[in-house]
Structure 1
Amino acid sequence: MHRFLIPKELKILVETARRSCLKKPDLFRRGGYHRDLQEIRWLLDNVESWNAESRISSVSAYSILEAIVLFFDCLPDSLFPSQLYSTIMDASKSFKNSLEIYNCLPEINANVFVYLITFLKLVHSHSSENDTDLPLFADTFADVLIKPPAALSLSQIPKSDRDSKRKFLGYFLANDVSHLFQIDLLLTRDEYPLLARHLVRTGTN
């Protein structure tokens, strides 16, 4: 069983969202604000965790959620490493095969993925208020969590791949994954070389 390891920046964003964003309407349907995203990035880089969390909670809920998406989008390699891309496309035919891909992930990546899925399920538990659904989550995160190798051109990527990515993520969203982690250990950014060092600098609006 994996230990539960997550980067502190991601934990701050998710925990802030958990406390202040769950009941907002149209979550993951509205974009964040550029100024908010700049402030979030500065706070994560320069302020102690407890204070950053308090100050981030004052910005738009939509900006906090977009910052979570951007965190994954700016990883040097996607959370599911690109060398697994073609295998993931094949594995998307069943949850059993998809679990085998999960078991191939580096420990940090595996636990961050479960942490994200668990958070998204919590968001969905308030769907009557925030207008979310599981296909929305799969659609939002498909292209940031699972990216093809850089050597592949767009013309070499079948259009059906996006459906395969959404289906792959959908298995984890629809099934219980709580048994895949055990304890929660907070990582500093020097301790997770496979993950991003900072949020991207741009946002929408």
Structure 2
Amino acid sequence: MTAGKIRVLLADDERLLRAGIRLVLRHAEDIEVIAEADDGSQAVELACQMPVDVVLMDIRMPGTDGLTAAEQMAERAPGVKVVMLTTFGEHDYITRALRGGAVGFILKDTGPQELIQAVRAAAHGGAILSPRITKDLIDQHVTTNDTRTTEARRLVSDLTDRERQVLVLIGLGTSNAEAARRLYMGEGTVKTYVSRILAKLGCANRVQAAIIAHDAGMLPTR
């Protein structure tokens, strides 16, 4: 991303949803919606032709869907950060989207401030998963077994006390900004801890780290 405003492309076939997101982002002085698309192929072409920093893209659209469009953008416009817009319960798509180049998922009913923070985080290289998505992923994909528990506990045993605190917040789906507030740390410091934790655990992303935290018994039970 170059200096100046974060340039956003909205890709969703629901005109009212695009209007709502555009209205929310208009309140952020550092963000500008520069284009809109109502199908995936149009979004890909716009991302290739215009100086787009972040694409907010619906998963399900007529013609080329959002997942396919994200994969095409990764090849044709690799500098563009794609954040998928989803509804609760569509989490089977997450693995494919993250592998295809998307940097995160947010729910369509995400609050205005969370949406703005997600755009900022994506523009600056962060990964975004709504807390509810993180928790649901863990519930769906983690099964309790002694081997997984033993391995997870072995991995986290190498973490410092502060790294463990940050890992718990990752497991709860907390953003870097919220983790910084809870731990009385700078957001940049939290980002450093997150990178260090992922490296120590051998994780490619925050979801994998969250699953390890769950397997190790570090997360509060419901």
TM-score by length of 1: 0.27
Larger RCO (CA under 8 A, 6+ residues apart): 1
Structure with max Cα Rg: 2
